[in-house]
């Protein structure tokens, strides 16, 4: 049953996870805006192979904003589980903090690599 009033997780730790996630979204948005103005290629690499060459590409808009969209979708999924079946979740705040840090670092790294690739074209 849906319980919007609470999820049964320690309030302090839950709010820390949300603060870190919100901060990650702000950083990722700023990074996307910054690189959107610097990268002009119509398609950008989304993945690189062992040789260092791109293995597949996406349109510029998707490549720049994909990580941010993925982060929001993952958070919405976690919120749904928290609301409808909170007994299945353990350590949500720690996982959310870890996920936020990892996806932010991956996004920044991806944007730097995409910019370098675009400059060589």
* Burial grade of 110 (CB within 10 A; 0-12, 13-18, 19 or more): buried
Cβ–Cβ < 8 Å for 82, 1 = no
Q: DSSP E strands: which ranges in the chain?
A: 43-48, 54-59
Closest CA to 41 of 110, 109, 120: 120
Position 7 scores a pLDDT of 45
Q: Is the pLDDT of residue 58 over 90?
A: yes
End-to-end CA distance of the chain: 54
Position 52 scores a pLDDT of 86
Average pLDDT over residues 2-29: 74
Q: Is the pLDDT of residue 67 over 70?
A: yes
Going by the DSSP 8-state scheme, the letter that residue 46 receives in this structure is E
Dihedral sign for Cα atoms in the order 77, 78, 84, 87:
positive
Closest CA to 65 of 55, 73, 53: 73
Average pLDDT over residues 3-11: 48
Q: Is the pLDDT of residue 9 over 80?
A: no
Average pLDDT over residues 103-110: 98
Closest CA to 85 of 96, 97, 77, 95: 77
């Amino acid at each position: 049953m849906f319980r919007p009033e609470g999820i049964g997780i320690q309030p302090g730790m839950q709010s820390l996870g949300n603060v870190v996630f919100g901060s990650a979204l702000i950083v990722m948005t700023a990074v996307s805006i910054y690189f959107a103005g610097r990268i002009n290629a119509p398609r950008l690499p989304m993945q690189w192979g062992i040789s260092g060459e791109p293995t597949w590409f996406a349109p510029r808009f998707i490549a720049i904003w994909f990580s941010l969209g993925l982060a929001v979708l993952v958070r919405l999924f976690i919120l749904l589980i928290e609301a409808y079946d909170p007994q299945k979740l353990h350590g949500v705040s720690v996982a959310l903090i870890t996920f936020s840090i990892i996806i932010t670092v991956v996004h920044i790294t991806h944007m730097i690599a995409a910019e370098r690739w675009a400059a060589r074209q």
